């Protein structure tokens, strides 16, 4: 019987289709490893499921000296971090927690796979954030809002009886990069997720994830008490409603003792919330926080709130939440999108960061490429994440970066967190585009250590996912590191934003003017092109959104001469003939940016084609095929935007720019149909 149990454990741990070249192994391929060290070279006390996974990884993939795994209660200050130290005959991994030992094992495997120096190791790792969380926008019917890699991993109709092997693979991939939390369902939440039958399904996933150090969270619908149990309303000041949430919390924690808490989207884009009853976001969040408090749960309350109003959408989250600063319970954290509009290719950072002095804040990034070409475009997102985290808000004086505000350095938060919307689906390679795996990886690495550079993360990922041959690594890294700027150039350079086709956000529609719908979903609302110029005036003469930033940024952004040119059209309505720093007019600069972006994608195609001998055929062809789509899309963007804006600038496209190949009238007829907002 003992042997049978051991066999079952090994079967459950074995990664799916071990060394397949189909992308299913992500960055955990270990293709040159036939087997690891023998079990007698692993020294550890205790027989905990997490330690068993650590041993399994070592016996299968580690080819170095003996390894000792030690829990050490004196390392409490490292949280779930660890130390790795070489001694004469072994490597010692120590941590305050078992999960830290597993993280340490994944670290040495990464060092081995990237051919790093394994002599005299002396490493100390402490994570930047306590909660490092993926938000899945997965619906209970298996669809994924803004998902571009197939249907949901979670097979709700099969659970709790039938368990997909991918649940464990998913947990393993996350643990290998330090992600320790997951919201299973869409922020546009169905109340049904809180039904007893669904909670029993959630419990199965929580049980599978637990040994990998991952806690489960749920998005909840604010109207759940009324919808599920017929309460008269869902007013947060109604005692019956408060008791309903307390009862629900108790029910959840009986099933899942380490349940993480709730993510809430309320009073935004038609979702119900406390304002339906004349209450504030603080009233709503605190009611739920009180219900979870006895069990140690947290509420992540989204600041992405905006309603149809005459006010600039870029100001709305700030105006809603700043008056509530200090009114939230200590187990509430405000989850703020990196920019104030909506996951654009480039945005000014959200002015809410640092504006709340008494309320914990966390960043929400988007890994899934809703506004960056879905899973068709190669866009490495670490530079976007870094640009935001490294932005200085000046809210506590110079050096008040978003990273330092959210990681507890400048605000003594009880809990720190960082989140991102997942790009994972049931596609064999998990993310649709093979290079989109790098964005999942990059988020995990930055959530663990936000001081890492985009280059270092790309270097690790390429070596672990493809090969460590420098003739491959160097050119691919150049593609990755320039790819985000390239996408900005061929889509929306110089601070242009939200000029996407409506609804699905794939492709350009700068002419979109939804007179019968909401103006703040219309591209013309954002670019304001006219005979005088283009761009959204957010200075004192316009919406005055600049006033929401701390000095000296408010003055910097107010003055067109000192505004960074990559955000000039975000903050200013700029004349077509305005002289840019390089001597070109704004119109010429716009033309050159679009052209540069398009040409860069063509260069990526040439570079990738030269690398065929370094990559297996399936992945080579898949990436090659998507680069073709990206190259066509870049021309589509360039032609649509320049031909449309030319109607206002009345100026020729400079002759050293590639000629348009489309007619504007033909482009205006293109209608794709693919989904809706979040």
CB-CB contact of 644 with 636 (8 Å): no
Beta strand pairing status for 181-183 and 332-337?
unpaired
Rg (CA), the chain: 25
Write the secondary structure of 266-306 as one string of H (helix), E (strand) and C (coil). Answer: CCCCCCCCHHHHCCCHHHHHHHHHHHHHHHCCEEEEECCCC
Helices 470-491 & 454-465, crossing angle to 10 degrees? 120
How far, in Å, CA of 245 to CA of 225, rounded?
Answer: 8
Transcribe 511-530 into DSSP letters: T---TTS-GGGSHHHHH---
CB-CB contact of 143 with 185 (8 Å): no
How far, in Å, CA of 389 to CA of 453, rounded?
Answer: 11
Annotated active-site residue 485? The verdict is no
How far, in Å, CA of 148 to CA of 199, rounded?
Answer: 27
* β strands within 87-187, DSSP E: 90-95, 122-125, 131-135, 181-183
SS3 of residue 93 by DSSP: strand
CA distances from 422 to 182, 211, 578 (A): 9, 21, 40
Point out which residues pair with 508 in neighbouring strands.
500
How far, in Å, CA of 466 to CA of 459, rounded?
Answer: 11
Under 8 Å CB-to-CB from 508, ≥6 apart: which residues? 491, 499, 500, 501, 636, 637, 640, 641, 667
Annotated active-site residue 342? The verdict is yes
Which of 370, 489, 520, 537 is labelled catalytic? 370
Please return the burial class of 476, using the count of CB atoms within 10 Å of its CB with bins 0-12, 13-18 and 19+.
Answer: buried
Q: What is the DSSP letter of 574?
A: E
Which of 269, 276, 392, 603 is labelled catalytic? 269
How far, in Å, CA of 313 to CA of 311, rounded?
Answer: 6
Under 8 Å CB-to-CB from 485, ≥6 apart: which residues? 383
State the first-to-last Cα distance of the chain, in angstroms, to the nearest integer. Answer: 51
Measured in degrees and rounded to the nearest 5, phi and psi for residue 25 equal: -85, -5
CA-based nearest residue to 607, from 426, 441, 433, 477 = 477
How far, in Å, CA of 314 to CA of 305, rounded?
Answer: 10
CB-CB contact of 572 with 543 (8 Å): no
Which of 342, 364, 460, 509 is labelled catalytic? 342
Under 8 Å CB-to-CB from 301, ≥6 apart: which residues? 264, 266, 281, 284, 285, 328, 332, 333, 334, 335
CA-based nearest residue to 259, from 181, 179, 176 = 181
Annotated active-site residue 138? The verdict is no
Which residues are catalytic, by number?
Answer: 269, 342, 370
């Amino acid at each position: 019987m003992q042997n049978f149990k051991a066999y079952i454990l090994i079967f459950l741990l074995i990664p799916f289709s071990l060394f397949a070249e189909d992308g299913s192994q992500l960055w955990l391929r270990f293709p040159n490893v036939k087997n690891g060290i023998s079990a007698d070279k692993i020294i550890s006390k205790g027989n905990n499921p997490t330690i068993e996974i650590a041993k399994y990884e070592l016996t299968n993939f580690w080819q170095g000296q003996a390894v000792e795994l030690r829990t050490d209660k004196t390392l409490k200050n490292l949280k779930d971090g660890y130390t790795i130290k070489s001694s004469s005959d072994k490597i010692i991994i120590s941590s305050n927690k078992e999960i830290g030992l597993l993280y340490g094992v994944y670290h040495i495997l990464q060092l081995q796979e990237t051919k790093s120096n394994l002599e005299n190791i002396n490493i100390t790792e402490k994570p930047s954030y306590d909660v490092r969380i993926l938000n899945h926008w997965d619906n209970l019917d298996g669809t994924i809002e803004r998902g571009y890699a197939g249907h949901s991993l979670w097979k709700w109709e099969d659970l709790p009886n039938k368990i997909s092997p991918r649940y464990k693979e998913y947990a393993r991939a996350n643990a290998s990069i330090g992600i320790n939390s997951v919201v299973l369902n869409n922020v546009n939440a169905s109340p049904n997720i809180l039904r007893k039958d669904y909670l029993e399904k959630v419990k199965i996933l929580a049980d599978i994830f637990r040994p990998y150090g991952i806690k489960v969270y749920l998005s909840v619908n604010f109207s759940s008490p009324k919808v599920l149990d017929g309460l008269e309303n869902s007013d947060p000041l109604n005692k019956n409603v408060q008791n309903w949430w307390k009862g629900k919390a108790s029910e959840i924690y009986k099933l899942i003792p380490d349940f993480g808490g709730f993510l809430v989207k309320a009073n935004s884009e038609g979702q119900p919330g406390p304002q339906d009853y004349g209450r504030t976001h603080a009233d709503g969040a605190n009611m739920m926080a009180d219900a979870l408090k006895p069990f140690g749960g947290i509420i992540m309350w989204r600041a992405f709130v905006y309603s149809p109003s005459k006010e600039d959408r870029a100001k709305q989250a700030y105006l809603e939440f700043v008056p509530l600063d200090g009114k939230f319970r200590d187990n509430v954290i405000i989850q703020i999108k990196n920019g104030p509009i909506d996951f654009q290719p480039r945005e000014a950072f959200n002015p809410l960061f640092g504006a709340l002095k008494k309320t914990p804040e966390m960043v929400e990034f988007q890994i899934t490429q809703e506004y960056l070409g879905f899973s068709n475009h190669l866009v490495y997102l670490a530079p976007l994440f870094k640009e935001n985290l490294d932005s200085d808000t000046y809210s506590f004086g110079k050096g008040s970066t978003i990273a330092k505000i959210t990681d507890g350095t400048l605000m003594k938060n009880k809990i720190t967190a960082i989140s991102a919307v997942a790009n994972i689906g049931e596609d064999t390679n998990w993310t649709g585009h093979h290079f989109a795996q790098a964005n999942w990886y990059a988020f995990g690495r930055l959530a663990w250590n936000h001081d890492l550079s985009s280059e270092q993360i790309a270097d690790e990922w390429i070596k672990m996912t493809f090969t460590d041959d420098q003739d491959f690594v160097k050119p691919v890294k150049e593609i990755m590191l320039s790819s985000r700027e390239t996408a900005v150039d061929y889509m929306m350079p110089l601070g242009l934003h939200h000029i996407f086709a409506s609804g699905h956000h794939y492709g350009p529609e700068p002419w979109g003017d939804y007179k019968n719908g909401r103006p703040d979903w219309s591209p013309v609302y954002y670019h304001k092109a006219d005979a005088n110029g283009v761009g959204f005036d957010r200075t004192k003469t316009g919406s005055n959104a600049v006033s929401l930033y701390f000095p000296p940024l408010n003055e910097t952004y107010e003055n067109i001469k000192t505004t960074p040119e990559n955000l000039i059209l975000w903050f200013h309505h700029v004349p077509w003939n305005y002289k840019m720093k390089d001597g070109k007019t704004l119109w010429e600069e716009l033309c050159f940016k679009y052209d540069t972006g398009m040409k860069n994608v063509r260069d990526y195609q040439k570079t990738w084609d030269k690398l065929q001998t370094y990559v297996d055929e399936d992945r080579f062809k898949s990436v090659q095929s998507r680069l073709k789509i990206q190259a066509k899309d870049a021309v589509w963007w360039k032609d649509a935007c320049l031909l449309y804006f030319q109607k206002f600038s009345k100026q020729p496209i400079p002759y050293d720019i590639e000629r348009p190949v489309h007619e504007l009238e033909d482009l205006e007829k293109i209608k794709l149909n693919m989904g809706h907002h979040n």
